[in-house]
Amino acid sequence: MKKRTIGSLRVSVVGLGCNNFGTRLDEAATADVVHAALDRGIDFFDTADVYGRGLSEEYLGRALAGRRAGVAIATKFGSAMDDERKGAHPDYVRSACEASLRRLGTDYLDLYQIHRPDPDVPIADTLGALTELVRAGKVREIGCSNFTAAQLREAEAAAPEGGARFVSVQNEYSLLHRDPEREVLPECERLGLAFLPYFPLASGLLTGKYRKGRPLPEGTRISEGGWFADVLTDENLDRVEKLVAFAESRGHTLLDLAFSWLLARPAVASVIAGATSPGQVASNVAAAGWKLTEDETAELDTLLPGPA
């Protein structure tokens, strides 16, 4: 498995998103998926305190027991655990970190990320608390998620002298959602930030399971409804058909294309994809093996143009 850099961290180019743990997967199934990931060379695990209301962190920590030193754990704070536990106030940052450490069964976090901007707390205050955690050895690197380019610039300017600064941003990005190309990716390159795409498979639409004129597969996020179903539009299904034809004409699958296209972006450090079975883990790892040529990338831009 190839590796790329997030600040001082070296992580596998395919990561494991842990948002299914504690919701769609129980503890035993979580362990199966985590162990399959480790066996396939994945050493980057991305979770959040809010996933499964803390169960994702608990299950992940127990699944990694005895193998902690060989992996990088990323987690997040800020999304509402309840009416009290939320946001990015310094006091909460400190308490949220301690709670995540307990649930994960570790004494340090490799990457600690603010899950979303908090409009009620100056980013300088949050960065000050995160700097304390880094200096205390409880956090190695810090990052953010769902930040705009303007918010990235504000955070960079507000970072305390000699203190911690964001080394990564985690936003939605895929062949069907290319908004980061407008401003965030160029800002990442300017500031030297690693970009971590979430929903790289567009909630499953880029796995090849959803095709125009075919019945929906059962037991999937999109078929279960909710906001994930919003991606299942005629326009997106038409795009999927174009992408399938492109990939298959080159002897590859749509899944191969989804991963490899993201990894062709220099700022992308690791493609974080969830999995509900060891088989899905194996497929995700294999999908990253296609190295797109410049001509292929240009053809894709013609086939499905990015943002103007």
Of 209, 214, 197, residue with least CA distance to 274 = 197
Q: What is the pLDDT of residues 59-111, one digit of tens each?
A: 999 999 999 999 999 999 999 999 999 999 999 999 999 999 999 999 999 99
Q: What is the pLDDT of residue 219?
A: 63
Closest CA to 257 of 267, 245, 247: 247
- pLDDT of 230 reads 73
Instruction: Identify the sign of the CA torsion 28, 201, 204, 214.
Output: negative
Assess contact for 79 and 48: CB atoms under 8 A: yes
Predicted local distance difference test score (pLDDT) of residue 135: 97
- Radius of gyration of the chain measured on its C-alpha atoms: 19
Catalytic residue of the set 51, 59, 198, 210? 51
pLDDT tens, residue by residue, 135-175: 999 999 999 999 999 999 999 999 989 999 999 999 999 99
pLDDT tier at 19, thresholds 50, 70, 90: very high
Phi, psi of 74 (to 5 degrees): -110, 135
- Those residues whose C-beta lies under 8 Å from the C-beta of residue 192, and which sit 6 or more positions away, are none
CB-CB contact of 151 with 123 (8 Å): yes
- The confidence band for 10, taking pLDDT boundaries of 50, 70 and 90, is very high
The position carrying tokens 């639409």 is: 205
Instruction: Report the 10 Å Cβ neighbour count for 69.
Output: 6
Average confidence score pLDDT of the chain: 94
Asked if 118 and 147 count as a contact pair (C-beta separation under 8 A), the reply is no
| pTM, 2 dp | 0.94
Give residue 229's pLDDT. 61
- pLDDT at position 232: 74
Are 5 and 269 in contact, with CB atoms under 8 Å apart?
A: yes
pLDDT, tens digit, 9 for 90 and up, residues 45-69: 999 999 999 999 999 999 999 999 9
d(CA 100, CA 97): 5
Would you call 277 exposed, middle or buried from its count of C-beta atoms within 10 A (0-12, 13-18, 19+)? Answer: middle
Return the HEC string of the chain: CCEEEECCEEEECEEEECCCECCCECHHHHHHHHHHHHHCCCCEEECCCCHHHHHHHHHHHHHCCCCHHHCEEEEEECCCCCCCCCCCCHHHHHHHHHHHHHHHCCCCEEEEEECCCCCCCCHHHHHHHHHHHHHCCCEEEEEEECCCHHHHHHHHHHCCCCCCCEEEEEEECECCECHHHCCHHHHHHHHCCEEEEECCCHHHHHHCCCCCCCCCCCCCCCCCCHHHHHHCCHHHHHHHHHHHHHHHCCCCCHHHHHHHHHHCCCCECCEEEECCCHHHHHHHHHHCCCCCCHHHHHHHHHHCCCCC
What is the distance, to the nearest Å, from the Cα of residue 116 to the centroid of all Cα atoms in its chain?
13
Please check the confidence at residue 279 and state whether its pLDDT lies above 90.
yes
Task: Report the relative pairing of strands 3-6 and 9-12 from DSSP bridges.
Answer: antiparallel
Are the CB atoms for 59 and 30 separated by under 8 Å? Answer: yes
- pLDDT tens, residue by residue, 210-269: 777 676 666 666 655 555 567 778 888 999 999 999 999 999 999 999 999 999 999 999
Q: Which domains does the chain have, with CATH numbers?
A: 3-202+254-293 (3.20.20.100)
Catalytic residue status for 59: no
CA–CA gap between residue 271 and residue 82 (Å, rounded): 29
pLDDT of residue 191: 97
